[in-house]
Amino acid sequence: MKRQLSASVVVALVTSVSLVSAQTKITAPKNKYTPAQDVQLGREAAQEVQQKLPLLRDDNIDGYVDDIGERLVQNIPQEFRHNEFRYTFDVVNLREINAFALPGGPMYAHRGMIEKARSEAEVAGVLAHEISHVALRHGTAQASKAGKYQMGQIGSAILGAIIGGRAGEAVSTVGQFGFGAAFLKYSREYEKQADLLGAQIMARSGYDPRSMASMFQTIEKEGGSRGPEWLSNHPNPGNRVQYITQEAQALRVENAVNDTRQFQNVQARLRSMSPAPTSEEVARSGGGNRNPSGTSGTVRPSGRVEPPASRYTTYNEGNLFRVSVPSNWREMPSETQVTFAPEGGYGAINNQSVFTHGVQIGVARNETHDLQQATDELLQSLAQSNRGMSRPSGYARANIGGRQGLHTVVANDADSTGRERLAVYTTQLSDGSLFYMIGVAPENEYRSYDRVFSQIASSIRFSR
Ligand SMILES: [Zn+2]
């Protein structure tokens, strides 16, 4: 009798262990900010989002998205709840499929996402993913890692990652590299966490997590040659559909909510409205980005530029590096990079900063551990916002601040500033991030600037 009893206890234990281990255990990443700071940073960034992005402000549709969001928020596992956080949902009147979350809870879903979803569960999948980024505090965790390279405030850098993404890149000028996104987009590790926690929250709310995977498949098919905007903030960690499907099997949802009448009504209502503009259209009409030169509206660079002075001035950039540039160039720091350019060589077109002569220096997050691959990715992201850019024909070795680096020159045919050349220098910092310097000069003046760029590159000294 006794024996039998203990055998059944063992069986019960084994069963419960296998159930627990089937669901992936998630641990929030290290974070040097407090939850209260998340709230404050998110609130600051949200104010700018309200000003710069076109919100739909339709009670029916906002109410519907709120209801789904609220249901999901109720099901955030206890260990990831923060009393300070307030989860809010707004619909942005933009055509691309996208969604993003700010620290502490403000979330934004593009109208295009709701239009392209095939069921309520797919909308819930995207929201659950975003809620997970907030609950796991991924924005400030990422900033904790990037902190020492910050040239401006974290809040605006987070904002830059969102608004400086495709909306900021839309006007294809050389001045607008849109590196906010490269700097603060979520790492693949965080993406996978948001997928898995999102799947768990969906299941607890009565949605089948596989709908998240099918929404991602729809998203990846979107976007044509430039790729879907979603991926610039939420990179695919690889095998996304497989591991979400696997997690869904471990979670077993019965009688899942899939399609609802409200979902059909909301889609019909959206179809009856005039079509949403693209981010590019919004950026062109002036709803775009801050620009580092401080010039607003359209002030075209005159192109009449003094030759680079033979005397150089040295600048210290944060506690990261110093660099010497011709003394008649002006320093224009922005959130994630610094530009040096001569009078007449910079300006703004539709609020987007442009420069025809000068250098831009910054640090981009990099996960590749391979300098050439990281440089390839940098050039690819440049090519996305500069459609007239040629591919590099190869890389030469370069020494940058005592580190091994790469150098290449690419041609660019810019709508606003004509034919020009970009001199690209890169190296990896000790934490693996990519340090870059990009020099720009018109094609017919490039010979004399080539020397200046190489002199600037060789003046760079890192502080650590
Ligand atoms: Zn994500």
Q: What HEC string does 306-348 produce? A: CCCCCCEEEEEECCCEEEEEECCEEEEECCCEEEEEECCCEEE
Rounded CA separation 327/333 (Å): 16
The pLDDT, as a whole number, for residue 395 is 93
The pLDDT, as a whole number, for residue 277 is 85
The pLDDT, as a whole number, for residue 393 is 85
Do 208 and 341 share a domain, yes or no? no
Task: Specify if 16 maps to a domain.
Answer: no
CB 336 within 8 A of CB 160: yes
Rounded CA separation 361/334 (Å): 10
Do 130 and 80 share a domain, yes or no? yes
Do 348 and 443 share a domain, yes or no? yes
CA 458, chain centre distance (Å): 31
3-state secondary structure of 247: helix
Rounded CA separation 30/46 (Å): 24
The pLDDT, as a whole number, for residue 197 is 97
Q: Tell how far the Cα of 96 is from the centroid of ligand 1, in angstroms.
A: 16
Q: Tell how far the Cα of 114 is from the centroid of ligand 1, in angstroms.
A: 17
Do 344 and 428 share a domain, yes or no? yes
Quick: pLDDT tens for 139-186.
Answer: 888 777 655 444 334 444 444 444 443 333 322 222 223 333 333 467
6 Cβ neighbours under 8 A, 6+ residues apart: none
Which of 284, 304, 324 is the last residue before a domain boundary? 284
Q: Tell how far the Cα of 351 is from the centroid of ligand 1, in angstroms.
A: 29
1 Cβ neighbours under 8 A, 6+ residues apart: none
**How many structural domains does the chain have?**
2
State residue 422 phi and psi, 5-degree precision: -115, 125
Task: Specify if 299 maps to a domain.
Answer: no
Rounded CA separation 284/280 (Å): 6
Rounded CA separation 26/11 (Å): 26
Q: Tell how far the Cα of 216 is from the centroid of ligand 1, in angstroms.
A: 11
The pLDDT, as a whole number, for residue 355 is 74
- Minimal CA–CA distance to 258: which of 217, 202, 325, 310? 202
Do 187 and 85 share a domain, yes or no? yes
Do 356 and 259 share a domain, yes or no? no
Rounded CA separation 273/60 (Å): 13
Q: Tell how far the Cα of 340 is from the centroid of ligand 1, in angstroms.
A: 34
Task: Specify if 9 maps to a domain.
Answer: no
Burial of 372 by CB count in 10 Å (0-12 exposed, 13-18 middle, 19+ buried)?
exposed
The pLDDT, as a whole number, for residue 455 is 93
Task: Specify if 296 maps to a domain.
Answer: no
Do 243 and 320 share a domain, yes or no? no
Q: Tell how far the Cα of 342 is from the centroid of ligand 1, in angstroms.
A: 39
pTM over cut 0.85:
no
Q: Tell how far the Cα of 289 is from the centroid of ligand 1, in angstroms.
A: 22
Task: Specify if 383 maps to a domain.
Answer: yes
Q: What is the CATH number of the domain that holds 323?
A: 3.40.1000.10
Do 219 and 336 share a domain, yes or no? no
Do 84 and 207 share a domain, yes or no? yes
Q: Tell how far the Cα of 233 is from the centroid of ligand 1, in angstroms.
A: 7
Low-confidence ranges of the chain (pLDDT < 70): 1-21, 145-185, 223-228, 232, 280, 283-300, 318-319, 334-337, 348-354, 365, 384-387, 415-417, 464
Task: Specify if 139 maps to a domain.
Answer: yes
Q: Tell how far the Cα of 290 is from the centroid of ligand 1, in angstroms.
A: 24
Q: Tell how far the Cα of 424 is from the centroid of ligand 1, in angstroms.
A: 30
Do 74 and 174 share a domain, yes or no? yes
Do 363 and 268 share a domain, yes or no? no
Do 167 and 244 share a domain, yes or no? yes
Containing structural domain, residue 229: 22-284
Q: Tell how far the Cα of 128 is from the centroid of ligand 1, in angstroms.
A: 10
The pLDDT, as a whole number, for residue 464 is 66
Residues in the chain: 464
370 Cβ neighbours under 8 A, 6+ residues apart: none
The two most distant CA atoms of the chain are separated, in Å, by 98
Task: Specify if 4 maps to a domain.
Answer: no
The pLDDT, as a whole number, for residue 182 is 32
Q: How many CB atoms lie within 10 A of CB 444?
A: 10
Q: Tell how far the Cα of 31 is from the centroid of ligand 1, in angstroms.
A: 18
Rounded CA separation 116/119 (Å): 9
The pLDDT, as a whole number, for residue 285 is 62
Q: Tell how far the Cα of 133 is from the centroid of ligand 1, in angstroms.
A: 7
Task: Specify if 8 maps to a domain.
Answer: no
- Looking at the DSSP assignment, which residues form a beta bridge with residue 384? none
Helix axes 138-146, 154-163, angle to 10 degrees: 110
Q: Tell how far the Cα of 191 is from the centroid of ligand 1, in angstroms.
A: 5
